[in-house]
Structure 1
Amino acid sequence: MVERSGGTPWFVRWRSLVRIGAVLGPLLTCGLLAVFRDTVAAAVVVLVLVLWVVAAAATGDRAAGVLAALSGGAGFDFFLTEPYHRFTISASEDIETTVLLVVIGLAVSEIALWGHRRQADAERRSGYLDGVLGAARAVAEGDLPTAGLTDVVARQIADVLGADECRFVEGAVHDARVALLDQDGVLTRSGRSVDVGRVGLPTDEYVAVPVHRGERVVGHFLLTATTRHRYPTQEQLRVAVLLADQVAAALPAS
């Protein structure tokens, strides 16, 4: 459960603080450097301000990176270009420097965000692999009873797909209203495929992830995602199928 203070989620408060810092940090830095404006080169100022942009963008919040870039440009104009303490620039060189600062800041922000996303993707894939290997290990070692194993895998599937709830049910799916996730990671509902990347998981009905033993369905994981729309990738859907299949070997033969 997300921690709350006064009804505000912690991540909302954190994001607000990051954005406030992204605005104030460059402005205060420019104000401090204004004391040494006669001895500090413009290139040094630009490099210092770009560091603020990198720091803001490294949080993964694009808005914070953009705000830091714009704040740096405004602070440079106000504190470090003539006429001072006015948002007016008289020298063409200062105009070029200010524009370059903003452009570089925005570009660096996008690069930092790209790196942040790639790192997040790598960590997510590592988490998926750990989940599948953990389920396979539990099946091979036989340390968990069947009910315990299905509970563990159900939590992993819910985590991978962002579902609100997931539970194991023995046997095949007999309700035609339930959407089915096939072995290829394709979701079908009433016999028609669903573009999960565009419309998300169904919020008004269950989604079933069948567990196959050969050609026979021996059970299924039933999940719901009703609180908000979830848009799992094809990779996430296939991982959910792979997780479900780990349970087949642990189920009693019938």
Structure 2
Amino acid sequence: MAFHLTRDRMAILAAVVAPIAVSAALIPFRTDISSANLALILVVVVVAVAAIGHLFAGAVAALGAALWFDFFLTRPYETFAITKSSDVGTAILLLAVGLVVSQLAARARRLHVLAITDADYLAQIHHTAQVARSSTSPDAVVDQVRDQLVGLLHLNGCRFEYGNLLGRPPRLEPDGRVVKSRMEWDVDRLGLPEEEVELRASAKGHYYGRFMLRPTPGSVPSLEARLVAVTLADQAGAALDTAQSAPSSG
């Protein structure tokens, strides 16, 4: 059975391997380069990992960078002990900076994905926004989004449930990931789960309902398509929020 490395799996592998490999490669220079500069080199590694992966990969790389910086590049060498208080501060700062820049890099990756979305995706978002502005009924926006999701994600069907959210079906998250039984589902390799997938419609922290997506077996919607689907669901949530917030007549 062939093993397929997705981009995110490659990022996790890089997050584990790159910090130790780079730290080990810096051993010959650890007496000639200051600890602060060695830490900056490892920050670059964390940024690179986060840029090709996601936040979790960046966090793993940041933790690994701090640990292997301690082990290989601070005295006493080849132990997880640090005798100089300045090196302790550098290691802590390396971890903190690594976590921050990994979050920024992961966010930049998502924004880049949205930036390269093709014209058809942008047209769908624009069209739904026009419907939301021109329609007095949020149901019209919900219906519009439901129809768009079927084509966008190549679904067998889609329905919308108003109100309270029951059960724990697989969920399409705001970052385009799919989570099933609290574990990330590898959409790029397996496609969407066979059962219905939940896509929540929310606005301002309030849930107004959810789209229940009925996948087509074998269909593998791209990350770009999933992110656009989330954007469309948010537009439906905003329309429902506006309708609820509007003062009643009479």
Q: How far off its partner does 1:239 sit?
A: 8.1
8 A contact 2:11–2:53 mirrored in 1: no
TM-score by length of 2: 0.55
Is 1:26 aligned with 2:19? yes
Q: How far off its partner does 1:156 sit?
A: 5.9
5+ residue gaps, structure 1, are: 135-153, 167-177, 180-186, 202-224, 241-254
Q: Distance in 2 between matches of 1:159 and 1:101?
A: 45
- CA offset digits 1:214-250 (Å, max 9, x no partner): xxxxxxxxxxx9634131657415989xxxxxxxxxx
5+ residue gaps, structure 2, are: 128-145, 171-192, 203-230, 237-250
Instruction: Classify the secondary structure of the residue corresponding to 1:38.
Output: coil
Aligned residues: 169
Match of 1:94 in 2: 87
Is 1:158 aligned with 2:150? yes
For the pair shown, which has the larger CA radius of gyration, 1 or 2? 1
- CA offset digits 1:186-238 (Å, max 9, x no partner): x4x5xxx3478x9889xxxxxxxxxxxxxxxxxxxxxxx96341316574159
Match of 1:43 in 2: 36
Q: Distance in 1 between matches of 2:125 and 2:83?
A: 63
- The equivalent position to 1:236 in structure 2, one of 232, 238, 249, is 232
Q: How does 1:5-16 map to 2 (within 5 A)?
A: 6=2, 10-11=5-6, 14-16=7-9
Is 1:59 aligned with 2:27? no
Q: Distance in 2 between matches of 1:239 and 1:46?
A: 43
| Percent pairwise identity | 28
Change in Cα spacing, 1:115 to 1:233, as seen in structure 2 (3 Å) is farther
The CA RMSD measured in Å over matched residues stands at 3.7
Q: Distance in 1 between matches of 2:95 and 2:101?
A: 10
Q: Distance in 2 between matches of 1:239 and 1:99?
A: 41
TM-score by length of 1: 0.54
Is 1:227 aligned with 2:218? no
